[in-house]
């Protein structure tokens, strides 16, 4: 499988995975209170890194997905890492993380960025690790891996915010991790709302607020979030979620138009067949 096919497959997994979401209990927009600020990185919302999922566990299935040639490059770097000194290890771990990034495999990349961050304690390394763990959570249905990804994402963004407390990327990532973990959805939503208040066009915060609005059945709010994104850039993921939100609101014409745009953006036969099914249902 080449790199383009891997990216297409990952995109299909993400947008179709939404169909398996369950409503998040307590996922309701917090009341506006100018005198209150969302708590951040408190003991109540903190999550300890999971110790039962390792980079080897997530690398094995990822290697099967990328093919023999690319896997051989990864194996070579892993062999070098096993022999490397503590001083040389971070450079090799960074190389491994970037190789996994190149083939859109966030789970193993996340663990390597995390290893570097724990040694060097730099903001960008923590943010890189957290973003990949959040992406890995989004791409998997494995119930063993999901809690580990969420917990590690929370740890990474908490550490990033200790170093750079006003980082919007850090707050966005932590908010996503809190909601995904279902241990502090209100706290997570509050963080995301804080981000869009300071940066109304923030892509990641708006996308996730829209997705979380869908989860809680607030489809009108979801439409607003996705339209904000599509006014900036035409991308598959918000277009698909916009179509789904329109469908749930009974806005058939708007839903069909958005679904048609999805087909144009994603020339994948399996995906197109599923979209054609949605359109047929709306036309009946």
Average pLDDT over residues 122-137: 97
Pick the more confident residue, 144 or 116. 116
Dihedral pair phi/psi, residue 26, rounded to 5°? 75, 10
The full set of domain ranges for the chain reads: 1-21+47-176
Q: 222-231: per-residue pLDDT in tens?
A: 999 999 999 9
Which region among 36-40, 242-246, 265-269 has the lowest average model confidence (pLDDT)? 36-40
| pLDDT bracket for residue 233 (50, 70, 90) | very high
Whether the predicted pLDDT of 39 surpasses 50: no
Which region among 3-17, 114-128, 144-158, 203-217 has the lowest average model confidence (pLDDT)? 3-17
What the block records as the tokens of 68 is 């023999």
Whole-number average pLDDT of the chain: 85
pLDDT at 65: 86
- Say how many C-beta atoms besides its own lie within 10 A of residue 77's C-beta: 16
State which CATH number among 3.10.20.90, 1.20.1440.130, 1.10.1200.10, 1.25.40.10 fits the domain covering 1-21+47-176.
Answer: 1.25.40.10
pLDDT at 52: 83
Whether the predicted pLDDT of 1 surpasses 90: no
- Say how many C-beta atoms besides its own lie within 10 A of residue 36's C-beta: 10
Average pLDDT over residues 64-72: 90
Helix 123-139 / helix 89-102 crossing angle, nearest 10 deg: 40
Handedness of CA 265, 271, 277, 282 (dihedral sign): negative
| pLDDT bracket for residue 31 (50, 70, 90) | very low
Q: DSSP letter for 184, please.
A: S
Nearest C-alpha neighbor of 11 from the set 241, 260, 170, 201: 241
Dihedral pair phi/psi, residue 167, rounded to 5°? -65, 115
Q: DSSP letter for 23, please.
A: P
pLDDT at 75: 96
Question: What three-state secondary structure class fits 241?
Answer: helix
Question: What three-state secondary structure class fits 193?
Answer: helix
- Which residue stretches of the chain are H helix? 3-17, 55-66, 68-83, 89-102, 106-120, 123-139, 145-163, 168-181, 185-198, 203-215, 219-232, 236-248, 252-265, 269-283
Pairwise CA distance, residues 241 & 207, whole Å: 9
pLDDT at 48: 45
Whether the predicted pLDDT of 195 surpasses 80: yes
Q: Which distant-in-sequence residues (6+ apart) come within 8 Å of 118 by Cβ?
A: none
Q: What angle do CA 111, 18, 213 make, to 5 degrees?
A: 100
- For residue 191, give Cα distances in angstroms to 57, 91, 255: 32, 33, 30
| pLDDT bracket for residue 49 (50, 70, 90) | very low
| pLDDT bracket for residue 5 (50, 70, 90) | very low
Contact 203, 209 (CB under 8 A): no
């Amino acid at each position: 499988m080449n790199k383009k096919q891997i990216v297409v497959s990952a995109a299909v997994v993400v947008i179709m995975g939404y169909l398996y979401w369950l409503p998040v209990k307590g996922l309701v927009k917090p009341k506006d209170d100018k005198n209150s600020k969302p708590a951040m990185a408190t003991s109540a919302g903190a999550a300890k890194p999971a110790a039962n999922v390792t980079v080897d566990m997530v690398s094995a299935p990822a290697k099967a997905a990328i093919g023999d040639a690319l896997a051989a490059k990864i194996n070579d770097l892993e062999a070098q890492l096993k022999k490397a000194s503590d001083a040389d290890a971070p450079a090799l771990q960074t190389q491994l993380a970037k190789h996994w990034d190149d083939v859109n495999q966030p789970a193993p990349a996340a663990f390597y960025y995390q290893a570097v961050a724990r040694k060097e304690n730099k903001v960008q390394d923590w943010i890189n690790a957290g973003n990949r763990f959040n992406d890995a959570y989004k791409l998997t249905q494995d119930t063993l891996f999901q809690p580990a990804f969420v917990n590690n994402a929370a740890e990474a963004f908490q550490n990033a915010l200790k170093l750079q407390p006003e980082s919007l990327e850090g707050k966005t990532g932590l908010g996503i991790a809190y909601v995904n973990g279902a241990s502090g959805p209100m706290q997570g939503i509050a963080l995301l709302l804080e981000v869009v208040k300071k940066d109304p066009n923030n892509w990641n915060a708006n996308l996730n607020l829209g997705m979380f609005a869908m989860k809680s059945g607030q489809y009108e709010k979801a439409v607003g979030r996705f339209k904000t994104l599509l006014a900036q850039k035409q991308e598959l993921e918000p277009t698909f979620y916009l179509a789904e939100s329109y469908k749930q609101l009974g806005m058939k014409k708007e839903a069909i138009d958005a679904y048609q745009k999805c087909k144009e953006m994603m020339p994948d036969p399996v995906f197109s067949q599923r979209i054609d099914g949605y359109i047929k249902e709306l036309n009946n």
